Amino acid sequence: MEQMLKLRNLKVVFPTDYGVIRAVESVDLDIGDRECVALVGESGCGKTVTSQSVMRLIESPPAITRVDSIWFNGQEIKDYTPRQMQEIRGKDMAMIFQDAMTSLNPVMTVGNQIDEMYMRHQGDSKKEAREKTVKALELIGLPEPRARANSFPHQLSGGMRQRVLLAMAFACMPKLIIADEPTTALDVTIQAQVLKTLRGMQQGCGTALLLVTHDLSVVASIADVVYVMYAGKIVEKAPVKELFTSPRHPYTVGLMAAVPRLTDQKRKFTQIPGTVPHPARKPRGCYFHPRCEHVTEQCREEMPPLRPIGPDREVRCFHPLKVGGAANE
């Protein structure tokens, strides 16, 4: 499979009066052509900073960003000028943000906002752009698309606004779409509808997709490969089926155990003890060791490397769990 994105050794820090916040530490990420890759973890793990860094949206200052390579669609873009990045954003790579209400311009109709995509990147006239906008809104399942195009964001429901963001993202058939928690503010029924639309559009357009989420139930239904992130570092990578059948990092196992299952009503709901460490006060050694039931003295003193444990599988743990979740001696 050809690679659409290769991110190498991304580091992002934010100097503050309270210390240096190490938001992202030495992250590598690969996304194949037409592939859906999920980046999962609790809030505060660095997922959004990572995804926005791919699109060069993290401002410096205040951030200090270091990266060896951002190889996108056959080109190295880490040193692109702001003007060069403006040319590829929206056209070749696009982002779906988690809060549609703040992402959309409140004083412009949603139709005018989508029209701008076609006029800027495809050189369409206003009339040509509006026809494409109506077709795009129809394609993502918005009822009465021509009438909805004349609506302002506040006149639409949360689910409708999220679908408008999907239409904007897919407008120019980009090579890569980054979806940052695209269903967070929606109820379960609308979540399922939006995810089905997102996956259908992604497959129909042949677009690579980076899905950023804390919800593993979302990952199971849409992703091909999963990266698990904790405290700014990747702690596990695996194909989605293997991750769900045999998670190897204790943090991944904890995330799995916290997912409710309607099919097993006798199963006790569990949660991972403690919280993600403050990015300016991370513990020595493995960042997860204060919350890990399998911790050893080595874990407290040393940071484990991210190492391969099988085909397309990596784990950052001195004592990766056996298949089935049992601890190694």
Q: Is 313 helix (H, G, I), strand (E, B) or coil?
A: strand
Q: Is 35 helix (H, G, I), strand (E, B) or coil?
A: coil
Question: Tell me, what's the pLDDT at 9?
Answer: 97
Q: CB of 252 within 8 A of CB of 235?
A: yes
Question: Tell me, what's the pLDDT at 196?
Answer: 87
Closest by CA to 212, choosing from 84, 79, 69, 27, is 27
Regarding the domain delimited by 3-223, which CATH topology (the fold level of the hierarchy) does it fall under?
A: Rossmann fold (3.40.50)
**Per-domain boundaries in the chain:** 3-223
Question: Tell me, what's the pLDDT at 329?
Answer: 44
Q: Output Rg (C-alpha) for the chain, integer angstroms.
A: 21
Q: CB of 244 within 8 A of CB of 218?
A: no
Question: Tell me, what's the pLDDT at 208?
Answer: 96
Question: Tell me, what's the pLDDT at 32?
Answer: 95
Question: Tell me, what's the pLDDT at 264?
Answer: 61
Question: Tell me, what's the pLDDT at 308?
Answer: 96
pTM of the entire structure? 0.92
Query: Measured between alpha carbons, how far is 6 from 74 in angstroms, rounded to an integer?
Result: 10
Question: Tell me, what's the pLDDT at 262?
Answer: 59
Query: Which regions of the chain are under pLDDT 70?
Result: 260-269, 323-329
Closest by CA to 5, choosing from 31, 26, 37, 44, is 31
> Residue 279 has what DSSP assignment?
T
